[in-house]
Structure 1
Amino acid sequence: MSAPSDLAANIAAHVVDELHRKGMPTSEEDRAQFIALLIATEFPDADEVSIKHAIKAVNDHIRTGAFRPVESLRAIEPINLAGLDIGAPQNGEPICERVDPKTLFVDPSYQRDIGERGLRQIRQILECFDWNRFKPPICAYAEHDGQTVLKVLDGQHTAIAAASHPDIDWIPVMICEARETSAQAAAFVGQNTQRLNVTPLQLHQAALVAQDEDALTIDQVCTKAGVRVLQYSVKTFEPGDTVAINAIAKLVDARGAMRARIILEVLAKAKMAPILAPQIKAVELLLTDDEYRHSITPEALTEAITGSWLTDHDEGKRIALSHKWPFWKALAIHWFRNTKKTKPATAGRAA
């Protein structure tokens, strides 16, 4: 594993401070849940590598035994509402029912099929099934083949495990008021926004079904640029495929729909397979930074980067190591040097 980044160190320091302030949870499961939720809430944009480094650093600190035990029980108390615009509940209060898990359904329009990773999770639930760890699936009524059924909005792995268990006939579920598919997809997004085990691709797909304005804008930008956002990662990519939904969302937010389309179109026309986050950031720099954008055109950049990704990747890594730059920046400099110029570049980084 490579050396921890500054971001990983910052995350670890924050988690350690919170553990010192609030006390160490008594069980390993509660501690892991506390750390995961804290990182997801406070550092939502952290990359996976930084998170892994941070968690390792926290665990190393825990092993030193430097934490005080959790304090005595703390009563739930309301917070100060001054300055808050309190929204009224938009739907009715959920109800709890016991149901046969084999009668539940899943909507593939916003929830992906169970893959090998999901099967491993289900097997783990079955091997260590414990009602004390059971979290009732979140469901909603829907019409299917002329009948009213319950669709699982969140917790399909739990539901499948329960349906597979030979000693379980009934499980408790929480039923929300969300009759339409768009409302159910929106509920899925709401249930999973703060959780680490739901991928950004799944959330984006659910947001599309829910007609979320930002998700629809991203979809329109990608469609016009010739980019196809996959619902999940695959082993073999076609030109224009991407799973870098977070990078695209940041691009659209920072640059607007029109400029984001132009940037993505460069990579789509270059037949990148897949389109990666560092590539997006590199093209964004070249087409928006005053030091580079006046010297090249999107068409010239596309021509320069088509068909040379493996070589460009290696050269970008070499430049990044040599200058201690982020890979995306090194890649941008390499691409700039290989792109036909419309006029001399401004003196600076690329000189």
Structure 2
Amino acid sequence: MNALEIAKFLLDETGKKTGRKGTTQDINDVVAKVIAAEFPDTSSDLLREAMWIVNDILSKDEHFRLRKIDPVNITGLDIDTPENGEPICERVNPAALYVDPAYQRQIGARGLRQIRKIVEAWDWNKFKPPICAYAVHDGVTVLKVLDGQHTAIAAASHPEVDFIPIMIVEASATSQQAAAFVGQNTERLQVTPLQLHQSSLVARDLDAMTIDLVCQQAGVTVLRHPGAGGAAKPGQTVAINAIAALINKRGNTQSREILEVLAKAGFAPILKDQIKAVELLLTSEEYSTVLKSDDLVAAIRGTWIADLDAAKQMALAQKWPLWRSLAIVWNRKCKKSRSTSFKTMRAA
């Protein structure tokens, strides 16, 4: 094969494996693997010529052409002046950094595995500087990690890493640091809604404080993290997103009444489908006009496993959401309870 034929083969194989949707690095990785597998004995001069052809073709492909950073149209945006100055960058000993448990979760088994993987496959090309802020601890100025504690711990654990670059932002108070943490992690999947809620509470976020107040009034406790194996005590919950959505839709008073039913019924933990089921029963015209909160509490207390099984069967048969099926199961139990009470009264 000549250089042109080799180049065509490389491009064809690359297209098959990436669909021409990968990054330039993806393309380079595939080309290297194809060369190693298909052309182990081909002369380096011929391969070099083939690669020139490949690079020339890719350079004309819009997908792989180097792009300049251009500003977007910002017409109509209400742009605020930045409250803080731009971050500064420093090199520090990672073992000299601190973590504040007020808004940072403890490292569990999963986090430890992640740290060990980072240490084992340390790669400066993949390194992201932790975000830190100055704070006073026991009368001494220290640097707290707002985001990137796994990276910092991995660096401190690595025998060949003595210093790492960090980015330092202005956030002296704990509430500011928590707010900065929320800002850094709102779009990151690995940070849980529970952790963001806790950080928002520390930052005195109004929405988070409202959720906390409504839950306290209803006798519900929002856990900082799920218990081992999902274990929980009556009235505890990790369904922070469901509660936030409920308050946003129904307001504080109705939301408190809905959550109070589940707390009084002793659910452990209180789940999203339970919240949505009670919401339907206490707010829809179909059910709320004849159903009382106390009757619902009495009907659903202590029978969760059986009720869940019945709701699952109904949801499967009718292709309904589980929460809707659960509401129907609980409404039927309330009807049966009312019917029994009425017969007892008539007999008396």
* TM-score of Structure 1 vs Structure 2, range by shorter chain: 0.7 to 0.9
Instruction: Rate the CA distance shift 1:280–1:26 in 2: closer, same or farther, 3 A.
Output: farther
Asked if structure 2 preserves the Cα contact closer than 8 Å seen for 1:100 and 1:169, the reply is: yes
Matched, 1:239 2:237: no
Partner amino acid, structure 1, of 2:95: K
Measured on the aligned residues, the alpha-carbon RMSD in Å equals 1.9
Distance 1:116 1:165 in 2: 19
Instruction: Give TM-score scaled by structure 2 length.
Output: 0.79
> 1:227–1:265: 8 Å Cα contact kept in structure 2?
yes
- Return the TM-score normalized by structure 1: 0.79
Select the residue among 162, 166, 174 that pairs with 2:155: 162
- Which residue of the partner structure matches residue 178 of structure 1? 171
- What is the deviation of 1:341? 8.1
User: Offset of 1:73 from its aligned partner?
Assistant: 1.6
Alpha-carbon distance in 2 for matches of 1:24, 1:298: 56
1:225 match: 218
Cα distance in 2 for partners of 1:73, 1:339 equals: 67
Q: Distance in 2 between matches of 1:120 and 1:319?
A: 40
Q: State the Cα deviation string for residues 275-326 of structure 1 (Å, max 9, x = none).
A: 0000000000111111111010111111110000000010000110111101
Unaligned 5+ segments in structure 1 are: 1-18, 29-67, 345-351
Q: Where in structure 2 are the equivalents of 1:45-124 lying within 5 Å?
A: 70-124=63-117
Aligned to 1:46: none
Q: CA deviation digits over 1:114-147, x for unaligned, max 9?
A: 0001001101101110000000000000000110
Alignment partner of 1:308 out of 303, 306, 317: 303
Note if contact 2:97-2:144 (Cα within 8 Å) is conserved in structure 1.
yes
Q: Distance between the aligned counterparts of 2:193 and 2:24, measured in 1?
A: 31
Which of the residues 237, 241, 246 maps onto 1:251? 246
**1:12-33 Cα distance to aligned partner (Å, 9 max, x none):** xxxxxxx99x9433457xxxxx
Distance 1:83 1:324 in 2: 45
Amino acid at match of 1:228: T
Q: 1:237 to 1:342 in 2, by over 3 A?
A: closer
Contact 1:296 1:342 in 2 (8 A): no
Distance in structure 1 (CA, Å) of the matches to 2:82 and 2:116: 37
> Where does residue 48 of structure 2 map in the other structure?
none
- Kindly indicate which of the two structures has a greater share of residues assigned to helix: 2
CA distance in 2, matches of 1:302, 1:90: 49
Residue 260 (structure 1) aligns with:
255
Find the aligned partners of 2:63 and 2:217 in 1 and give their Cα distance: 54
Which structure is larger by alpha-carbon Rg, 1 or 2? Answer: 2
Question: Following the alignment from structure 2 to structure 1, what is the Cα–Cα distance between the partners of residues 279 and 23?
Answer: 44
Encode CA deviations 1:73-108: one digit per residue, 9 max, x unaligned.
Answer: 211111112111111111011000000000000000
| 1:180-227: CA deviation from partner (whole Å, max 9, x where unpaired) | 000000000000001111000000000000000000000000001011
For 1:319 and 1:342, the matched residues in 2 are separated by 21
Q: Show the counterpart of 1:321.
A: 316
In the alignment, what sits opposite 2:190? 197
SS at 1:85 equivalent = coil
Aligned to 1:209: 202
Aligned with 2:287: secondary structure? coil
Identical aligned residues as a percent: 62
Counterpart pick for 2:280 among 272, 285, 289: 285
The answer as to whether partners of 2:281 and 2:331 remain within 8 angstroms in 1 is yes
The residue identity in structure 2 corresponding to 1:162 is A
Report the residue type matching 2:23 in the other structure. Answer: P
How many Å apart are 1:69 and its aligned residue? 8.6
Question: What secondary structure is seen at the aligned counterpart in 1 of 2:142?
Answer: strand
- Do the aligned partners of residues 167 and 69 (structure 1) sit closer, same or farther apart at CA in structure 2, a change above 3 Å counting? farther
Letter in structure 2 aligned against 1:139 = C
CA 1:224–1:70: 2 relative to 1, 3 Å: same
Partner Cα distance (1:144, 1:90) in 2: 25
- Structure 2: distance between partners of 1:279 and 1:114: 30
Deviates more, 1:293-302 or 1:151-160: 293-302
Whether the 8 Å contact between 2:299 and 2:337 is mirrored in structure 1 is no
CA shift, 1:70, in A, is 3.4
Partner of 2:46: none
Unaligned runs of 5+ in 2: 1-17, 27-60, 340-348
- 1:299 maps onto 2:294 in alignment: yes
